[in-house]
Structure 1
Amino acid sequence: MNNKKKVISALLIIALVVIAVTTFINKKLDINKNTLDDNIPGYEVKSDSPQSVGLGKPAPDFTLKTLDGNTMTLSDLKGKKVILNFWASWCPPCKDEMPYFQEYYKKYAKKDNVEIVAVNLTFNDNLTNVENFVKSYDLTFPILLMEEEGLNLTYKIYTIPSTFMINTKGEIEKQILGPLDLDTLRDYITNLE
């Protein structure tokens, strides 16, 4: 009988420990979930950062194939403000920001003399996934395919999404790491030459 009480006491202690640990873990997960749900906006790369591509300098030129089979050259957009975005279909923050890019493109891009150029890291993605992603978000701005590494190194893309705000002279004015929302996009474009 005495052993039975000890076993029951031990089981109760174990049950209480399991409940305490489970409660602690659930609270931590809720904190992390709430942090993720806040969709922390991207942050600007400073000109003295090792990740800076060269603020105030001409954006490195490139030509890439578009999803619809044409090609696009960045320097052909000189005279327009350009939002240059690097992304992948498997990237959760990219999924968060794309509806805002589409909304901006649809409502404001023409009026603001802006072109959005979304470069998919296709060498690290899957073309079918890219097509499905574009279709599911009903994206209408140009989607470029980086099928081989190289441009990502030129632009120092270590984090996606990465976005560059390029002025009408073709110079990089802002470099942003992380997701953007509609208000942030509009603020950056409003202050762009």
Structure 2
Amino acid sequence: MNSIKDKLAGMRWLLVKPGKFFDDVARNGSYWDGLVFVAFLALLVGFGAVLGDPTLSPDMVLADGAKVALVLFVGMLVITAVWGLFSALIGMKMRPRIAVALTFKEALQRCLRIVCFALAPIALLFFHGQLLVGLALVGVLVLSVIGVSKALSIKIIPALIVQALVCGSIVGGAALAVDSFFKDPEFQARRSRSYPAKKLIGKPAPDILISPTGGTPIHLSELKGKVVIIDFWATWCPPCRFGLPMVSEVASKYKDKGVVFYAIGDGSINQEKLYLEQRKIDAIASSSNAEGFEAFMVQAIPETIVIDKEGIVKAVHIGLSQNEKEELTSEIEASLAGK
């Protein structure tokens, strides 16, 4: 398959006769073809994630879709690299003695090419639905079993065992990493210190200009006497979409006690306001100039700041923690009590 037309024609075998397709890919496939295919999947799923969002303008759909697709592309490349490596390592141990000689390098190259195309069912995620997520995962497993069987010249059952071990290793390793991330105090402390914004804790908050939607711009110093929550976020950021409602839920409990919550985005403020309203997120949609993001040393989002009544930075949250709501509640109550 040399020309683009021939390559597209050859893709039909992936669904019609996956065994034939993977046999050809394993022996004659190109890394570039695999990379292009993964990039196509990332674009498809990335734009699928934002196309159904009525709060986004066409310009924001294009920008947010591209950002989500880039994150997905990098993530999928990492997954394929680890998946291909483990498949080759375990699969080589299960090859029959009578099989044609195959070096580990050749096995690894074949498995990497196979895994790229085995991700094809992820395209179902362009459409939203839990059932489709399940079907996509099952489809990936089925194709990877067929692909590894062809790549390493092993039977289906051993190939299924290989993929079960590989998936278990990857998922188990990820689970241990997440558990360590959330529970290891030393690891968390090192991570916290690594972000420049953490240096702001215990110091007067930078006097940035906050511009609420439809309101009068206000300097942060004018809000002394109130506990201020600031969340730097973006509509394209999955952790922001997940975390913003949690911050809002906590902050709204103390709204009558002088707690104000500003959600400062990096895009169109009117679109962000519509996003918050449609999801019933109780936050003041606001914007700030580049100096505002720089003053709070925003390097990763979401970044959530808790500022006490005296204008002192009480806490800085980067990303999401396992006990996000509990930590925010404790910090807000301490700030209200003047502790």
With normalisation by structure 2, the TM-score equals: 0.45
- The correspondence for 2:242, drawn from 72, 96, 101, is 96
Distance of aligned partners of 1:117 and 1:131 in 2 relative to their CA distance in 1, 3 Å threshold: closer
> Identity percentage over the alignment?
24
Partner of 1:169: 310
Instruction: Determine whether 1:108 maps to 2:249.
Output: no
Whole-Å separation in 2 of the counterparts to 1:21 and 1:129:
47
Whole-Å separation in 2 of the counterparts to 1:64 and 1:50:
21
Deviation of 1:87 (Å): 1.0
Distance of aligned partners of 1:80 and 1:23 in 2 relative to their CA distance in 1, 3 Å threshold: same
Paired letter, 1:106: S
Whole-Å separation in 1 of the counterparts to 2:280 and 2:177:
28
Deviation of 1:70 (Å): 3.8
Partner of 1:22: 163
Partner of 2:206: 60
- Compare the two structures and name the one with the higher helix fraction: 2
1:179 aligns to what SS in structure 2? coil
1:150 aligns to what SS in structure 2? helix
Deviation of 1:86 (Å): 1.0
Partner of 2:300: 159
Q: Relative contact order (C-alpha < 8 Å, sep 6+): which is higher?
A: 1
- The correspondence for 1:187, drawn from 323, 326, 330, is 330
Unaligned 5+ runs, structure 1 = none
Instruction: Determine whether 1:85 maps to 2:221.
Output: no
Paired letter, 2:156: A
With normalisation by structure 1, the TM-score equals: 0.73
Larger radius of gyration: 2
Q: What stretches of structure 1 move > 6 A for 4+ residues in a row?
A: 33-36
- Compare the two structures and name the one with the higher strand fraction: 1
Given that 1:53 and 1:155 are in contact with CA atoms closer than 8 Å, whether structure 2 keeps it comes out as: no
Distance of aligned partners of 1:25 and 1:89 in 2 relative to their CA distance in 1, 3 Å threshold: farther
Deviation of 1:35 (Å): 7.5
Whole-Å separation in 2 of the counterparts to 1:75 and 1:150:
15
RMSD: 3.5
Deviation of 1:101 (Å): 2.3
Given that 1:65 and 1:71 are in contact with CA atoms closer than 8 Å, whether structure 2 keeps it comes out as: yes
Partner of 2:286: 144
Deviation of 1:189 (Å): 0.9
Unaligned 5+ runs, structure 2 = 1-97, 101-148
Across the two proteins, how many residue pairs are aligned to each other? 179
Distance of aligned partners of 1:18 and 1:128 in 2 relative to their CA distance in 1, 3 Å threshold: farther
Given that 2:306 and 2:316 are in contact with CA atoms closer than 8 Å, whether structure 1 keeps it comes out as: yes
Distance of aligned partners of 1:169 and 1:131 in 2 relative to their CA distance in 1, 3 Å threshold: closer
